[in-house]
A and B are shown apart, each in its own frame.
Chain A
Amino acid sequence: MIIFENVTKMYDGNIGIENVTVKIDKGDFVFLVGPSGAGKSTFVKLILKEVDGDKGRIRVNGMDVTGISNRQIPRLRRSIGIVFQDFRLLPNKTVEENVAFAMEILHISSRTIRRNVPQVLGLMGISSKSKKYPHELSAGEQQRVAIARAVINNPTVLIADEPTGNLDPDTAWEIMQLLEQINRRGTTILMVTHAKDIVDRMGKRVIAIDKGKIVRDDRDGSYGYESEEAYSFRCKPGGVFDNNVY
């Protein structure tokens, strides 16, 4: 569960997010959309306490994120699973070691680790890759490893920051199905994305953010109106979001 109450974050006079109030309930599947620089990253960084808010209060899984000390940050992050666009796997660790790492930091016994890791890798469909290193995997496989690592400790919240940004359409859709499967087990999912067709196809809650403010919060689930100008810019070959054009 994620609650923002009148949260403002400025960067040297520039708006990160301004007076944002929003509540994401347990079990929700939420898309966070908006143009670049709208404040999506700030939103995620505030949840992870990578940056501190200037005003307002943030609660994640019952923890008052605004009030916790630096020493408590690891505890906060362990309760949240995180998946990034660039996967962020540990390059010197094999697939199973990468996933096991998330359990090791909780000092879980190696017997439990040996039991759980293959199970999760199986769920993600990458059992056969367990001894491989990240650089030996395709982008889609790497993202599956990242998701396996994010969910192995059964977090209540999973944050996915453009998880399909580096993937081809088919692989992206497979990843979305994995995320939906995880959501059905009760994990709250907050996904930051530019992928219009994915958002439209999934039909989930959509929070649109622009210039630091929430401009729309729909349960009906569509990416929303996009001007022709913006659309053509986005679809321009080699354009900023070219890899999101399906």
Chain B
Amino acid sequence: MFIRGIGNAVKLAFVQIVRNRAMSFASLFSITAMLLVLGLFFILIVNVNMVTESAKKQFDTIQIYLAEETDRTDAQRMIQSLSGTKGVAKAWYLSKEEAMDEYRQKWGDKSYLLDGFQENPLPNSIRVKITDLELADSVVEAAKKLEGIEDIKYYRTAVDKLLAVTGYIKTGALAVIISLIAVSVVVVANTIKLTVLARAREISIMKYVGAGNWFIRGPFLVEGILIGLFSSVVSVLLVGLIYHKLAELFGNDILLIFSVVMVPESFLAANLLRIFMALGVSIGAFGSIISMRRFLDT
């Protein structure tokens, strides 16, 4: 009997959606629009996160440039002494040739620009990978005491600034997402309320004939869920499409500026679909239950 009830509700829901096309479309449109905006902010957050994480990874290295007269054995001695310092994960020697190769790789097809140098301007260096960004300053202090170094490069301020900016972006986007969810729940509940209001007479007739609350609610509930589910799929497709276009337009620039690739589309799509399906289904279901409540009081 329960199974038959569910089957009946699903059947009726499909019939209702088709017969009340205009209202179904209105609900579908508002849920999709809201999910679309949510999705765009979501991909913003995910990408900003990626930039932050990779920035942290990139800047957890201190570069110690060696003076011309410092030779490889001196460098090895320095590495040994540094390795004992707290906060050092790894220290290694990088010759000027290796440093140049690194640049060539990073610049890819624009590396011909480096051909202009007649002589390699890069110094030999020691790279120190630190375990914790907090300990970076003490490592830098220890390195300064070494003899035979020319300069120490550590982008502490740059990292701090970047982290601050991305932090603001993330907080802002999160605030927008939360307020959007609140607004959209109201919008969706109202849209569904309109649908229900248009069928208030229908509901009262059902009650006269002796239909129980769940019998009446069932098809509306399934209808809400189906519309939510469909909206989520449509909005993920739209977000995917927009993201694909954005990645095509800006992907390379972002790679150059931040040395970060954008989050892959397939990864985003899969996650977004899961989140949006859950969101769409809940919005549809809660929307219909909330907006039907006062019609089913007695």
Contacts and interface: CB of A to CB of B under 8 A. Distances in A.
Given A107-B1, A109-B4, A149 B20 contact: no
Given A74-B212, A77-B210, A92-B16, A104 B8 contact: yes
A48 interface: yes
Contact of A75 (B5, B19, B210, B213): B210
Contact of A92 (B4, B5, B8, B202): B202
Interface in A85-114: 88-92, 101-102, 104-105, 107, 109
B212 A105 contact: yes
Contact of A107 (B5, B19, B210, B298): B5
B208 A48 contact: yes
User: Chain B interface mostly helix, strand, loop or mixed?
Assistant: helix
| Interface size grouping (class) on chain B | 20 to 34
A240 interface: no
Could you say which of A48, A105, A109, A149 has the most chain B C-beta atoms within 10 Å of its C-beta?
Answer: A105
A48 B208 CA distance: 8
Contact of A74 (B16, B202, B205, B211): B211
B209 interface: yes
Contacts of B205: 88-90
Contacts of B8: 104, 107
A68 interface: no
Contacts of B201: 88
Contact of B208 (A82, A107, A109): A82
Chain A interface mostly: mixed
A161 to B, nearest CB: 10
Interface residues of A, number: 25
Interface string B204-234: 0111111111010000000000000000000
A197 B197 CA distance: 40
A102 to B, nearest CB: 5
Nearest to A155: B210
Interface of A: 48, 50, 70, 73-80, 82, 84, 88-92, 101-102, 104-105, 107, 109, 149
26 contacts: A48-B208, A50-B298, A74-B207, A74-B211, A74-B212, A75-B210, A76-B210, A77-B207, A78-B210, A80-B210, A82-B208, A84-B208, A88-B201, A88-B205, A89-B205, A90-B206, A91-B202, A92-B15, A92-B16, A92-B19, A92-B20, A92-B202, A101-B211, A105-B212, A107-B5, A149-B209
